[in-house]
């Protein structure tokens, strides 16, 4: 096992960005301490149990993490989006599952409600979500609709004062926890005529409260990694909800969830950066303490160079998500920057997990070691919230190369 003090000594060794405020730095310190002393010691246990530790989630709620980017009128902290990213990064250093619970809980759970909900919807749902007393899922992905969200097959039809929903969703985070209160579902609510005269599905988003008759949460997946993260397939059979559960304007579901994903990718990139940082910390501490032929292995140039590359990847990923977050805060376009940050960050996390495992040898292959869990967990970072291929497509579009 790697000594915590040694691990912390290499946390962000290049220093904090001068653009960060004292509040940002204090938040980083607070969440880092929580991650090292509360989350990390229990990470292996909950990974083997494959269960989301609700006591840790409750503690995160008490720290105010679920309310970081939301106004105080809803019980939030009134902080900027970068604050959420910093918290996610620090958690991901030690446990990606806990980090994605926060990232998805806010970015995919609360943020659509905050951005597009009515005052009545916000007043009803947001206080508990912002306090961490409840979680929400975002039901977008289907068997044939993920990267191609326009292929959504879930249908919502009008029946009097209600919407009646039929369909299935898959890979939905935070959808089956003991405190999940709702899932926002994308569904076809009709047809729309495009500018070129062709007809396309009209997509809308609808709030479906947990426990609504006909809404079934199927058993969790047997995943390669992210064992602690709550992820389920969902089934909707004649699910009836009132029309006032429409989230945002009818027919704006496609545009709204694209915007939601753009924002979410910035925090997801922070998660990737945290995973890369965690692998770096573990590998540096091991290279300083592991003695072979009378010398720490870090004194061998090829090990030192490998660690230097890990550091370069991590810092590049961090600067990429900072760039996107600062542009978002300034109200400037950030779609391309979000894709770059997500692409660079996920690649850094995967590469650092591989290199850290190699440096640590047999120890890096033991599941009780954080590096082994990062090795399993990091692959999904190249898939979740838009695959690497989707990010490349979006970046290419920004260069003038259309599909």
> Tokens 């609510």 map to which residue?
189
Nearest to residue 280, comparing CAs of 213, 194, 348, 203?
348
Contact 190, 152 (CB under 8 A): no
DSSP per residue, 143-184: SS-SSSGGG---EEEEETTEEEEEEEEEEEETSSSTTEEEEE
Q: How far apart are CA 100 and CA 378, in angstroms?
A: 12
SS3 content of the chain, % helix, strand, coil (to 5): 55, 15, 30
* 142 among known catalytic residues: no
Q: Is the dihedral of CA 127, 98, 56, 87 positive or negative?
A: negative
- Per the rule left: phi > 0, alpha: psi between -120 and 50, beta: everything else, 158 is beta
Helix spans in 195-252 (H): none
Backbone angles phi, psi at 181, to 5 degrees: -105, -25
Name 185's bridge partners. Answer: 139, 206
For residue 249, the tally of other CB atoms under 10 A from its CB is 12
CB of 242 closer than 8 Å to CB of 215: no
Residue with tokens 């220093």: 15
Catalytic amino acids? 385
């Amino acid at each position: 096992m790697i000594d915590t003090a040694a691990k912390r000594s290499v946390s962000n060794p290049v220093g904090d960005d001068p653009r960060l405020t004292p509040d940002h730095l204090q938040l980083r310190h607070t969440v880092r301490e929580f991650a090292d002393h509360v989350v990390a010691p229990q990470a292996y246990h909950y990974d083997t149990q494959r269960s989301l530790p609700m006591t840790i989630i409750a503690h995160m709620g008490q720290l105010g993490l679920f309310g970081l980017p939301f106004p105080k009128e809803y019980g939030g902290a009134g902080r900027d989006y970068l604050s959420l990213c910093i918290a996610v990064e620090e958690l991901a250093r030690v446990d990606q599952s806990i980090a994605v619970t926060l990232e998805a809980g806010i970015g995919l759970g609360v943020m659509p409600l905050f951005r597009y909900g009515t005052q009545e919807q916000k007043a009803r749902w947001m206080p508990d979500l912002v306090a961490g007393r409840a979680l929400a899922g975002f039901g977008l992905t289907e068997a044939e609709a993920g990267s191609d969200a326009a292929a959504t097959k879930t249908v919502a039809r009008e029946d009097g004062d209600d919407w009646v929903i039929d369909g299935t969703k898959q890979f939905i985070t935070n959808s089956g926890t003991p405190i999940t209160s709702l899932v926002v579902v994308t569904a076809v609510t009709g047809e729309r005529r495009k500018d070129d005269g062709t007809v396309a599905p009209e997509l809308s988003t609808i709030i479906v409260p947990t426990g609504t008759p006909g809404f079934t949460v199927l058993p969790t997946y047997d995943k390669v990694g992210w064992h602690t993260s709550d992820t389920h397939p969902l089934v909707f059979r004649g699910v009836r909800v009132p029309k006032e559960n429409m989230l945002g304007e009818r027919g704006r579901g496609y545009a709204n969830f694209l915007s939601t994903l753009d924002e979410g990718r910035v925090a997801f990139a922070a998660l990737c950066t945290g995973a890369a940082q965690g692998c770096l910390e573990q590998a540096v501490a091991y290279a300083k303490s592991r003695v072979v032929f009378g010398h720490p292995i870090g004194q061998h140039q090829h090990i030192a160079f490998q660690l230097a590359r890990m550091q370069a990847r991590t810092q590049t990923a961090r600067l990429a998500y900072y760039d996107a977050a600062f542009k978002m805060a300034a109200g400037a376009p950030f779609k391309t920057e979000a894709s770059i940050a997500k692409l660079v960050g996920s690649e850094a996390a995967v590469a650092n997990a591989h290199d850290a495992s190699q440096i640590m040898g047999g120890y890096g292959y033991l599941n009780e070691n954080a590096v082994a869990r990062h090795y399993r967990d990091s692959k999904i970072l190249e898939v979740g919230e838009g695959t690497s291929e989707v990010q490349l497509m979006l970046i290419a579009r920004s260069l003038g190369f259309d599909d």
